Amino acid sequence: MPPPGPTGKSRADGVREKFLRGATAVQELIEPMITGKPYPVKGLVVYGTNLFHTIPNVPRTKEALKKLDFVLAIDVLPQDHIPWADVVLPEATYLERYDELWACSHKTPYVALREPAIAPLYDTKPGWWMARELGNRLGLADFFPWTTAEEYINRRLSSLGLNIEKLRAMGGVAIQKGKPYLSDFEAENASPFTATASKKIELYSAAMAKAGIPGLPSYEPVAEAPVGMLRLVYGRSPVHTFGKTQNTPVLSELMPENAVWINAETAASLGFQNGQRVWLENQDGARNGPVQVMATQRIRKDVVYMVHGFGHDAPGMKRAHKRGASDTALETKYALDPVSGGAGMRVNFVKLIKEA
């Protein structure tokens, strides 16, 4: 169990006040870092996240970092935000470390092991080692009653009658016998829907209605694109993982940069050709690129699309530096979900500008 957190304070990110519930809304922590309200935020630990490719309104994020007394960054790459940190802890890659057991409650539940293929290279350490060392030096040794990752994982596996050696012999995956269908719960007179007040599937949420939010959501039309602009949407590629793998040699060869998809008829009407390099400029004047045009029939006429995670401004990432364009750099505004605090970032619009 982690040590108890502070009590009696409002959450700086607005959980249960600005919105109903949810995990930490990172983008809602930026304003408190700048203003000091509802209370000052003095430090930030950034673990495995590229701040400038994750949080909308990058200039605001940079302003927040300037206000902090201390920033610690933990990463495996010299990404864009690393120079903004006071201290950098270089982490071993996933091939060089143990990670937490992967426990999946799918139709066929299983537990999987991730273990190192090689010892960590250079002066890097696994994340679990950093957490334990920092905890011990802060007087929290009671919360780390183990000395190695193997000891910790074996303790976790003991509840299943397993250990690392047994799990290796099973191919690294322990599959749960039997399938947890609804009939299993009926036989035990139990409900799988323990998160709802009625213990049933709820299409109407009384809790949301009590909080002043419609208990049954209704469709809200989205804003039309301003004249001369197109809605910016983004997504993933099967080649890359978010903004983390663009510098990986093999993956970089497969997909070295992204493109801006635009309907072929729209492109022709605006005077752009397939393969042409353009800059993108949003409704607030934020500009990024250059990036290649991909004219296609596989997209609406009022939208452009980009694969997320490109446009890094990090010289140390030699394969990814200045390759393609960053959708995050063009997302200067977002819509806040009143229930979860999630940020809807497909509310920005761009125009294409020919490369000089």
Alpha-carbon torsion angle 58, 229, 354, 321, nearest 10? 20
pLDDT band at residue 186 using 50, 70 and 90 as cut-offs: low
Domain 230-354, CATH 3.40.1550.10 — does that match?
no
Provide the 3-class DSSP secondary structure of residue 335.
Answer: strand
Residue 298, pLDDT > 70, answer yes
pLDDT, tens digit (0-9, with 9 covering 90-100), for 48-96:
889 999 999 999 999 999 999 999 999 999 999 999 999 999 999 999 9
Q: What pLDDT score was predicted for residue 99?
A: 93
Distances (CA, A) of 205 to 26, 191, 195, 199: 26, 18, 12, 12
pLDDT at 356 over 80: no
Mean pLDDT across 175-199: 66
Q: Letter for the amino acid at 261?
A: W
Per the CB < 8 A criterion, the answer to whether 321 and 313 are in contact is yes
Concatenate the DSSP letters of all residues of 65-132 into one string: HHH-SEEEEEESS--TTGGG-SEEEEBPPGGGS----EEE-SSS-EEE----SSPPPTT-B-HHHHHH
Q: For the ranges 118-127, 171-180, 270-279, 341-350, which has the lowest average pLDDT?
A: 171-180
Between helix 127-137 and helix 149-157 the angle, nearest 10°, is 100
Nearest residue to 236 (alpha-carbon basis) of 250, 248, 246, 225:
246
Q: Highest mean pLDDT: which of 176-190, 284-298, 339-353?
A: 284-298
Give the span between the Cα atoms of 213 and 220, in whole angstroms: 14
Contact 61, 117 (CB under 8 A): no
pLDDT at 151: 95
> How confident is the model over 242-270, as pLDDT tens digits?
888 999 999 999 999 999 999 999 999 99
Q: State pTM to two decimals.
A: 0.86
Domain assignments of the chain as residue spans, ordered by start? 183-215, 230-354
The residues pairing with 287 across neighbouring beta strands, listed in sequence order, are: 281
Q: How confident is the model at residue 176 (pLDDT cuts 50, 70, 90)?
A: confident
Residue closest to 288 by CA, chosen among 318, 236, 330: 330
Q: What is the structure's pLDDT at 187?
A: 56
Instruction: Name the token pair of 56.
Output: 């909308």
pLDDT value for 247: 92
pLDDT of 185 over the 60 cut:
no
Whether 16 has a pLDDT exceeding 60, the answer reads: yes
Predicted pLDDT of residue 2: 65
Residues 132-149, mean pLDDT to the nearest whole number: 94
**From the CB of residue 142, how many other CB atoms can be counted at a distance below 10 Å?**
9
Of the listed ranges 74-83, 92-101, 164-173, 335-344, the least confidently predicted one is 335-344
Neighbour order of strands in the sheet with 173-175: 102-104, 110-112, 173-175
Q: Do the Cβ atoms of 332 and 261 come closer than 8 Å?
A: no
Determine which of 150-154, 185-189, 293-297, 304-308 has the lowest per-residue pLDDT on average.
185-189
* Spatial separation of the C-alpha atoms in residues 37 and 171, rounded to whole Å: 51
Tell me what pLDDT residue 353 has. Answer: 95
- pLDDT reported for residue 105: 77
2-11, 22-31, 275-284 — which is least confidently predicted?
Answer: 2-11
Chain mean pLDDT for the chain = 89
